[in-house]
């Protein structure tokens, strides 16, 4: 058990990569707070995972809203007595080419993907400092590292995630807190489900491993960065993209 009795908050935990991470962490003995805006999926997945015998609590949150985040963190601490791991996985896209991008969509993506990560980390930090250790894992993207046409807002937000990761790694290392990021490649979740299979085949041909990621591929990277196996890894952006860019 690589996370025995560790308390982990996983944002965006009700679907896709976050959901795979909730199950994977619980399999390794973690007590998992599945934090998500989507209460329908959250309640359903909480039940499914509890039926499998896992210690999971769904708490509804809007990561872009500081009050909601503070409530999440105090409910998590009340339920489990503390926090050891935060996975800032919640994220959204509102894609459009630059000429057509609605400024409201630009701002909304920044609100969730940047402010959300900032809000959750700031709210959890006192509990990690109290323990003198902890793990913060942020989710970037290949778009944040290399840019992507049609994703001005998303690429900007995911590049910002890397900036925050490296700044916090420097700031919090001396406090015993590891801060790292995962940069997933294209992953088979709702985020890419509307892409036609023909395009998926084209995308796959550009990937060294010749396939899109599965949510579990990314969840396993989160697990490594949440476990003691990565205790000397700091400020790293772990690309889990099948070798799409090298």
Q: How many residues bind ligand NAI (CB under 6 A)?
A: 29
d(CA 122, CA 211): 36
146 is catalytic: no
| Of 3, 17, 225, 244, the one binding ligand NAI by CB under 6 A | 17
Any contact of residue 95 with ligand NAI (CB under 6 A)? no
Any contact of residue 180 with ligand NAI (CB under 6 A)? no
Any contact of residue 184 with ligand NAI (CB under 6 A)? yes
- Residue 55 CB burial class (10 angstroms; 0-12, 13-18, ≥19): middle
Residues 42-81 touching ligand NAI, rule: CB under 6 A, are 61-64
Region near ligand NAI per CB under 6 A, out of 96-104, 124-132, 166-174, 179-187: 179-187
Nearer to ligand NAI, 6 or 141 (CB): 141
Compute the least distance from the CB of residue 5 to ligand NAI, in Å.
26
8 Å CB contact between 83 and 77: yes
d(CA 204, CA 184): 14
d(CA 179, CA 233): 8
Catalytic position from the list 146, 154, 222, 232: 154
| Of 45, 141, 152, 230, the one binding ligand NAI by CB under 6 A | 141
**Region of residue 81 (phi > 0: left; psi between -120 and 50: alpha; otherwise: beta):** left
Compute the least distance from the CB of residue 36 to ligand NAI, in Å.
5
Region near ligand NAI per CB under 6 A, out of 88-96, 129-137, 145-153, 165-173: 88-96
Q: Which spans of this chain sit near ligand NAI (rule: CB under 6 A)?
A: 11-12, 14-18, 36-38, 61-64, 89-92, 112, 116, 139, 141, 184, 186-187, 189-192
**Residues designated catalytic:** 154
């Amino acid at each position: 058990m690589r996370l025995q009795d560790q308390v982990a908050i996983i944002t965006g935990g009700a679907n896709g990569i976050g959901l795979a991470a909730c199950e994977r962490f619980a399999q390794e003995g973690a007590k998992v707070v599945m934090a998500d805006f989507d209460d329908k999926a959250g309640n359903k997945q909480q039940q499914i995972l509890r039926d499998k015998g896992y210690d999971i609590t769904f708490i509804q949150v809007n990561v872009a809203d500081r009050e909601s985040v503070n409530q999440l963190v105090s409910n998590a601490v009340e339920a489990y007595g503390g926090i050891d791991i935060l996975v800032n996985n919640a994220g959204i896209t509102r894609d459009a080419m630059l000429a057509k991008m609605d400024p409201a969509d630009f701002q909304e993506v920044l609100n969730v993907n940047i402010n959300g990560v900032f809000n959750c980390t700031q709210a959890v930090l006192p509990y990690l400092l109290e323990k003198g250790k902890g793990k913060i894992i942020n989710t970037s993207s290949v778009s944040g590292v290399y840019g992507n046409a049609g994703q001005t807002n998303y690429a900007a937000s995911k590049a910002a995630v890397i900036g925050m990761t490296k700044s916090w790694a420097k700031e919090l290392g001396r406090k015993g807190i590891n801060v790292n990021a995962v940069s997933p490649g294209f992953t088979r979740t709702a985020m890419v489900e509307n892409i036609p299979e023909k395009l998926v085949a084209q995308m796959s041909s550009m990937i060294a491993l010749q396939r899109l990621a599965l949510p579990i591929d990314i969840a396993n990277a989160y697990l490594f960065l949440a476990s003691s196996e990565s205790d000397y890894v700091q400020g790293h952006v772990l690309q889990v993209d099948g070798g799409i860019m090298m």
